[in-house]
């Protein structure tokens, strides 16, 4: 059902007392008049005066109210008469046509059990109901006038069900925390044109958990379960633009969620999350092939600060520590290559490849270095990050190190986002490969990632903190760059940095000044 923050107050017909399907149906047509109007529509009546002429004598004000409710419930479509007169034409939608068996069953029951009842008119059978109803159409194809579309706003975190320019429903939703994007593995929400290519979960209970699009359990409303569950219903999205044609293979859906308390704010992993009761209603209202448009954001909001990891958040250089497991001679060789790259003396991608050919780390080395990251957190980091988080900053790590090794440190520091190099081991823990095409393995990669984030989120402010020349490459793409020399002071980094600190706690002061200058 529509959420509480709709632009207009929900009518009584749009409210539900419970998710029980019988109760939901009665909420729409459980009074003494509405089913009679539906009966007349099935029998071919389409104009206001024709409904008034029925033998029950429905009052004019009640008829107006019931027709409006049926239009709001998407059971009836209202159009102008083709003859140009001011008289409106009312017709059953596909959802309304589905009530034929209900009316027929009531007719049969009345004839069988209520003495004195009689059927002076014959209801059409289900097989020819569509022809019977639409032959009264005011146009050659009035059904085309009732072509629903979905419009999703990233800015407003809303999903609207539209018929032309008319908004029939408005729901609060949740799109990706990381903003917009179509790259595989980006955890971002794609934008542009889509269609609903499939529907999964019909008749499943509210809170049904889907894994690999198959029911796999039940989540109870209010229950705390870790992770991002796909619940209740799934509407599959197929991208119709060149930029989003990978949407199906990315498993981007409209679906229910176990994080209903966060609906209305961007916090998904790329999908469009909805309240579970809302996604049931939407599922029932829209057929497959319904057009969907996800609108790109236009409003700037939020602040992002990126931190390098090695020699910035932690005192170690992770790849050098991996080399240490191969012996002191290997460590010295790799350390020399690392320093050459960090000082900008040799291309980063050449150094990366050469180091990995030498080291070939296994699982035990990776686990040990991951622990070393945590043991060597730079003094002042945790306090500074807490201050930034309290001030509303989104915090991310952007590193030429390896993501699996940095992730435990990020978890320790409460940092959700890590942009770092993939590392691949086999089932036995032996080295296979690394993400050689990942941006941070080459010069210019960190600015590329920052531009991607800025395009995805439209932040008001962007800050980068790091110790190496690859970090300095981001200076043109951020509002503030802070060079850090608290672990290693690199003279070329100090000279290139608009701000340079050796004490991590000094970062807060610089950022405070930046925010004040922007607000002035």
Residue of 308, 320, 467, 471 marked active site: 308
Is 350 annotated in the active site?
Answer: no
Q: How far is residue 488 from each of residues 220, 241, 491, 493, 494, measured CA to CA in Å?
A: 52, 47, 9, 10, 11
DSSP of 384-399: HHHHHHHTTEEEEEEE
What radius of gyration do the chain's Cα atoms show? Answer: 31
Contact between 164 and 146 (Cβ < 8 Å) = no
CA separation for the pair 129, 126 (Å, rounded): 5
CA separation for the pair 181, 294 (Å, rounded): 11
CA separation for the pair 449, 457 (Å, rounded): 12
> Angle of helix 34-42 relative to helix 100-113, nearest 10 degrees?
110
Name the nearest CA neighbour of 467 among 350, 356, 306, 267.
306
Which residue shows structure tokens 């296994």?
A: 362
CA separation for the pair 131, 139 (Å, rounded): 14
Which residue shows structure tokens 């609108």?
A: 295
Residue 507 backbone phi and psi in degrees, to 5: -60, -40
Residue of 40, 278, 310, 320 marked active site: 310
Where do the H-state alpha helices sit in 414-474? 445-457, 469-472
Contact between 348 and 341 (Cβ < 8 Å) = yes
Classified as helix, coil or strand, 21 is helix
Classified as helix, coil or strand, 457 is helix
Is 308 annotated in the active site?
Answer: yes
Q: Which two tokens stand for residue 9?
A: 């107050």
Q: Express the helix, strand and coil content of the chain in percent, nearest 5 each.
A: 40, 25, 40
Name the nearest CA neighbour of 304 among 461, 484, 466.
461
CA separation for the pair 204, 345 (Å, rounded): 61
Contact between 266 and 152 (Cβ < 8 Å) = no
CA separation for the pair 331, 327 (Å, rounded): 6
No. of helices (H) and no. of strands (E), the chain: 18, 20
Those residues whose C-beta lies under 8 Å from the C-beta of residue 374, and which sit 6 or more positions away, are 408, 409, 412
CA separation for the pair 19, 72 (Å, rounded): 19
Torsion, Cα 56 62 64 70, to 10 degrees, reads -90
CA separation for the pair 520, 513 (Å, rounded): 11
Which residue shows structure tokens 């080295």?
A: 431
Catalytic residues: 308, 310
């Amino acid at each position: 059902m529509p959420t509480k923050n709709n632009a207009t107050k929900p009518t009584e017909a749009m409210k539900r007392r419970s998710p029980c399907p019988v109760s939901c149906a009665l909420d729409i047509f459980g009074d003494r008049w509405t089913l009679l109007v539906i009966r007349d529509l099935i029998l071919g009546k389409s104009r206001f005066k024709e409904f008034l002429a029925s033998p029950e004598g429905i009052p004019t004000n009640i008829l107006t109210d019931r027709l409006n409710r049926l239009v709001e419930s998407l059971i009836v479509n209202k159009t102008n008469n083709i003859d140009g007169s001011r008289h409106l034409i009312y017709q059953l939608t596909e959802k309304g046509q589905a009530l034929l068996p209900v009316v027929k069953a009531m007719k049969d029951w009345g004839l069988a059990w209520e003495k004195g009842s009689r059927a002076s008119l014959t209801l059409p059978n289900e097989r020819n109901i569509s022809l019977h109803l639409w032959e009264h159409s005011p146009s050659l194809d009035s059904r085309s006038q009732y072509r629903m579309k979905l419009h999703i706003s990233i800015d407003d975190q809303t999903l609207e069900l539209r018929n032309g320019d008319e908004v029939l429903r408005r729901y609060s939703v949740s799109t990706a925390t990381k903003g917009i994007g179509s790259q595989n593995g980006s955890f971002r929400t794609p934008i542009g044109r889509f269609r609903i290519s499939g529907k999964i979960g019909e008749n499943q209970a509210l809170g049904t958990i889907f894994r690999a699009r198959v029911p796999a359990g039940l989540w109870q409303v209010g229950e705390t379960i870790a992770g991002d569950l796909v619940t209740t219903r799934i509407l599959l999205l197929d991208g119709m633009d060149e930029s989003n044609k990978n949407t199906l293979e990315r498993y981007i859906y409209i679906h229910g969620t176990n994080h209903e308390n966060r609906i209305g704010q961007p916090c998904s992993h790329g999908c469009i999350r909805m309240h579970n009761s809302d996604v049931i209603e939407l599922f029932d209202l829209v057929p497959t092939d319904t057009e969907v448009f996800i609108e790109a954001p236009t409003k700037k909001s939020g602040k992002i600060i990126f931190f390098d990891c090695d020699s910035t958040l932690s005192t170690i250089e992770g790849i050098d520590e991996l080399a240490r497991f191969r012996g002191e001679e290997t460590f010295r060789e790799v350390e020399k290559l690392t320093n050459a790259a960090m000082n900008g003396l040799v291309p980063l991608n050449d150094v990366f490849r050469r180091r990995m050919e030498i080291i070939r780390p296994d699982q035990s080395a990776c686990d040990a270095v991951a622990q070393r990251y945590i043991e060597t957190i730079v003094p002042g980091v945790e306090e500074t990050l807490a201050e930034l988080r309290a001030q509303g900053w989104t915090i991310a790590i952007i590193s030429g190190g390896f993501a699996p090794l940095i992730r435990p440190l990020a978890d320790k520091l409460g940092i959700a986002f890590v942009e770092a190099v993939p590392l691949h081991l086999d089932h036995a823990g032996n080295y296979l490969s690394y993400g050689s095409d990942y941006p941070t393995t080459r010069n210019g990669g960190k600015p590329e990632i920052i531009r991607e984030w800025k395009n995805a989120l439209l932040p008001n402010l962007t800050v980068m903190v790091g110790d190496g020349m690859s970090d300095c490459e981001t200076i043109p793409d951020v509002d503030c760059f802070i060079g850090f020399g608290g672990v290693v002071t690199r003279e070329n980094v100090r000279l290139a940095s608009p701000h340079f600190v050796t004490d991590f706690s000094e970062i807060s002061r610089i950022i405070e000044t930046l925010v004040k200058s922007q607000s002035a």
